[in-house]
Chains A and B, each alone.
Chain A
Amino acid sequence: MHNRLRELREQAGLSQADCAAALGVTRQTVISIEKGHFDPRLSLAFRISQLFEVTVDAVFSPE
Chain B
Amino acid sequence: MFVKFLFIASSLLTIVSALSMLMTKDIMHACIFLLGALMGVAGLFLTLGADFLAATQVMVYIGGVVVLMLFAVMLTGGNELNKRGLNPVPLMGNKFTFALGVFGASMFFIVVYQLLYKIFHYFHLSVVDSYESTVEKIGRLLLTDHILAFEISSVLLLGALVGAAIIARPKRN
To the question of whether A and B form a pair in one complex, the answer is no
B interface residues, Cβ below 8 angstroms from A:
none
